[in-house]
C-alpha cells in the first residue's frame, strides 16, 4: 500500500456508502469511539500531520489549543473553499470519496468535543455539494452521524454550507464571517478560532484533505503515517498538476518527492516536447521556481529553503514559450480582484500592482515602474490583517526578480 487518500481511487461507485463500508470504511470511527478524545489528539499530534490548505499549521496543535478553551459548544468546520488557482485536490475527495471526509470529520469532532460541523464548500462546486448532501444523509441513516453515533452516546451533525464566490473566504476567519452571514473579511488574530470562532464559540477548522488523513492515522498509528515521507514532513501529499504537461491531473506522492519526478514521471513531461521555463510549486500564491531549481524536494522545509512554499500543492508548469509578464499580469489581476478591501495597503496596492504590470505589457512602462511594483510589494506585505497581503505580493515579486529580462525588453526607453 502506497496511497492514503487514493486508497479507494478507481473503485467503481466509490462515493456510495455501501462500497465505502465494504472497503473497510467507518471501521476506524468505531475504533476511535473506543478510545478517549485525549488518545486521539495524541495520535494526531505524534503523526505531525500539518494543514493541507496552504498554511501548514500542525493539526494536533490546533486540537490541543482547543482543549484549553473547551467550556461549552465547540464547532468543527471543514474548509472546502478550494480557491487557490492551480489547486483541485479537495474536489476529488469530496466527489469520489465523500465518506472518507465524513469519517475523518466524525473522528475529529469526537476528539475535539464538537457536536455540530459545517462543510463550507465553494459555490462553484454545485454538483459536488449535492454529492456531499447525499453522503451525509446516507451516513445519518446508517447511524454514522446524528445522535448516538454508532451506538455510542456521542452525537454529531454536519451541514453543507455553500459559499458564493470569494477567494478570501478560504482564510479561516473570513470563512467564519461568511458562515455568520457577513461579507467574508478576515478577523484580526488573536483571538484565534480555537478561542473565539463561529458565533464566538471555540472552533476548529481544517482543510478537506487534512481531515481525510485522520482515519488512516487513527487506524494505523502515527509511525505508519510518518513512514511515507521524510523525518520532518511525514505522510503523503496530493499534488494538483496543471499547465504545459502531457498528463495534467491529481497525483498522490510521498512528501519529499522531487518536483522533477512529479513533472516528468507523474505528469508525463512537458507538452509537445518543449523545454521547461518555470514552475509555480504550491498554488498561485507561491513564488515561482526556475527550470534549474526543480530538483527540490516537495516538502515544507525544502521548499522554504529555496524561498517558496508547499502551499496547497498546486503545481502549474510553464513551458519555454510562456510569457512571464503575462503570468505576472494574470496573477496580479487575480489578487486585485479577490482583495476583500478591508486593509488599505492591500485594497489599493494590489490594484496599483496590476495596473503597473498591465502598463509594462502595453509597452508604456519604464524602469521606474518595475521599481514601483517591487516597492509596493514590500509595503503591502506585513501591513494587512490576513496573509492575503503576503500571498498577493510574493509571486509577482518572484516573477519579476527571476525573469527581469522579460520585463526589461518591454520597457519603452
What does the binding site for another protein look like in residue numbers (CB under 8 A)?
A: 82-88, 91, 116, 122-127, 159, 161-167, 178-184, 199, 240-244, 248-250, 280, 284, 314, 316, 318, 322, 326-327, 330-331, 334, 337-338, 340
Closest CA to 170 of 130, 137, 124: 124
Half-sphere exposure at residue 197, Cβ-oriented, CA atoms within 13 angstroms: 28
Q: Residue 174 CB, nearest distance to another protein (Å)? A: 10
Which is nearer to another protein, 32 or 121 (by Cβ)? 121
Which is nearer to another protein, 340 or 343 (by Cβ)? 340
SS3 label, residue 127? helix
Which is nearer to another protein, 302 or 350 (by Cβ)? 350
Which is nearer to another protein, 164 or 305 (by Cβ)? 164
Which is nearer to another protein, 40 or 105 (by Cβ)? 105
Which is nearer to another protein, 216 or 334 (by Cβ)? 334
DSSP 181: T
Which is nearer to another protein, 183 or 305 (by Cβ)? 183
Q: How far is CA 304 from CA 262, 278, 396, in A?
A: 18, 17, 17
Q: What angle do CA 264, 269, 275 make, to 5 degrees?
A: 110
Rounded Cα gap, residues 389 and 345, in angstroms = 8
Half-sphere exposure at residue 250, Cβ-oriented, CA atoms within 13 angstroms: 18
φ, ψ of residue 167 to 5 degrees: the values are -65, -40
φ, ψ of residue 54 to 5 degrees: the values are 150, -40
Q: Residue 231 CB, nearest distance to another protein (Å)? A: 30
The alpha helices in 227-298, defined as continuous H runs, are: 259-261
Secondary structure E strands in 68-137: 75-80, 116-121
Sheet holding 203-207, edge to edge: 157-162, 116-121, 75-80, 203-207
- Residue 363's CB is within 10 A of a number of other CB atoms, namely 9
Rounded Cα gap, residues 109 and 49, in angstroms = 16
Rounded Cα gap, residues 306 and 294, in angstroms = 10
Secondary structure E strands in 50-146: 75-80, 116-121
Q: Residue 292 has which C-alpha cell?
A: 534549474
Which is nearer to another protein, 256 or 283 (by Cβ)? 283
Residue 298 exposed, middle or buried by CB count within 10 Å (0-12, 13-18, 19+): buried
Q: Residue 239 CB, nearest distance to another protein (Å)? A: 10
Helix (H) or strand (E) holding 250: strand 249-254
Q: Residue 165 CB, nearest distance to another protein (Å)? A: 3
Q: Residue 136 CB, nearest distance to another protein (Å)? A: 12
Q: Residue 395 CB, nearest distance to another protein (Å)? A: 10
Show Cβ contacts of residue 20 under 8 Å, excluding neighbours closer than 6 positions. 8, 14, 26, 97, 99, 100
Q: Residue 47 CB, nearest distance to another protein (Å)? A: 28
Q: Residue 163 CB, nearest distance to another protein (Å)? A: 7
SS3 label, residue 112? helix
Which is nearer to another protein, 180 or 295 (by Cβ)? 180
Q: Residue 250 CB, nearest distance to another protein (Å)? A: 6
SS3 label, residue 1? coil
Q: Residue 334 CB, nearest distance to another protein (Å)? A: 5
Which is nearer to another protein, 257 or 302 (by Cβ)? 257
Q: Residue 56 CB, nearest distance to another protein (Å)? A: 20
DSSP 263: I
Which is nearer to another protein, 161 or 379 (by Cβ)? 161
Amino acid at each position: 500500500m502506497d496511497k492514503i487518500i487514493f486508497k479507494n481511487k478507481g473503485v467503481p461507485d466509490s462515493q456510495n456508502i455501501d462500497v465505502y463500508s465494504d472497503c473497510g470504511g467507518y471501521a476506524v470511527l468505531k475504533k476511535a469511539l473506543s478510545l478517549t478524545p485525549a488518545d486521539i489528539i495524541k495520535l494526531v499530534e505524534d503523526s505531525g500531520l500539518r494543514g493541507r490548505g496552504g498554511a501548514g499549521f500542525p493539526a494536533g496543535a490546533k486540537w490541543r489549543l482547543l482543549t484549553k478553551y473547551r467550556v461549552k459548544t465547540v464547532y468543527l468546520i471543514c474548509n472546502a473553499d478550494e480557491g487557490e488557482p492551480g489547486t483541485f485536490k479537495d474536489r476529488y475527495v469530496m466527489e469520489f470519496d465523500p465518506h472518507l471526509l465524513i469519517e475523518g470529520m466524525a473522528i475529529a469532532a469526537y476528539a475535539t468535543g464538537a457536536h455540530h460541523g459545517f462543510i463550507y464548500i465553494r459555490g462553484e462546486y454545485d454538483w459536488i455539494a449535492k454529492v456531499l448532501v447525499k453522503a451525509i444523509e446516507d451516513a445519518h441513516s446508517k447511524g454514522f452521524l446524528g445522535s448516538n453515533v454508532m451506538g455510542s452516546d456521542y452525537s454529531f451533525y454536519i451541514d453543507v454550507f455553500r459559499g458564493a464566490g470569494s477567494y478570501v473566504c478560504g482564510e479561516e476567519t473570513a470563512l467564519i464571517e461568511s458562515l455568520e452571514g457577513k461579507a467574508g473579511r478576515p478577523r484580526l488574530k488573536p483571538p484565534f478560532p480555537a478561542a473565539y470562532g463561529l458565533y464566538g464559540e471555540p472552533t476548529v477548522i481544517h482543510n478537506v484533505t487534512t481531515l481525510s488523513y485522520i482515519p488512516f492515522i487513527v487506524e494505523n498509528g502515527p509511525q505508519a503515517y510518518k513512514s511515507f515521507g521524510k523525518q520532518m514532513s511525514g505522510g503523503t501529499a496530493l499534488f494538483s498538476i496543471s499547465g504545459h504537461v502531457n498528463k495534467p491531473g491529481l497525483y498522490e506522492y510521498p512528501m519529499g518527492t522531487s518536483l522533477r519526478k512529479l513533472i516528468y514521471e507523474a505528469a508525463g513531461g512537458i507538452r509537445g516536447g518543449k523545454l521547461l521555463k518555470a514552475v509555480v510549486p504550491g498554488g498561485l500564491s507561491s513564488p515561482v521556481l526556475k527550470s534549474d531549481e526543480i530538483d527540490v524536494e516537495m516538502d515544507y522545509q525544502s521548499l522554504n529553503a529555496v524561498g517558496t512554499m508547499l502551499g496547497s500543492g498546486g503545481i502549474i508548469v510553464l513551458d519555454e514559450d510562456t510569457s512571464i509578464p503575462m503570468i505576472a499580469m494574470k496573477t496580479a489581476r487575480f489578487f486585485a480582484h479577490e482583495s476583500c478591501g478591508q486593509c488599505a495597503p492591500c485594497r489599493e496596492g494590489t490594484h496599483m500592482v496590476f495596473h503597473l504590470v498591465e502598463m509594462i505589457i502595453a509597452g508604456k512602462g519604464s524602469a521606474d515602474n518595475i521599481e514601483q511594483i517591487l516597492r509596493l510589494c514590500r509595503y503591502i506585505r506585513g501591513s494587512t490583517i490576513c496573509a492575503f497581503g503576503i500571498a498577493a505580493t510574493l509571486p509577482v515579486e518572484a516573477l519579476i526578480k527571476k525573469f527581469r529580462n522579460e520585463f526589461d525588453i518591454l520597457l519603452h526607453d
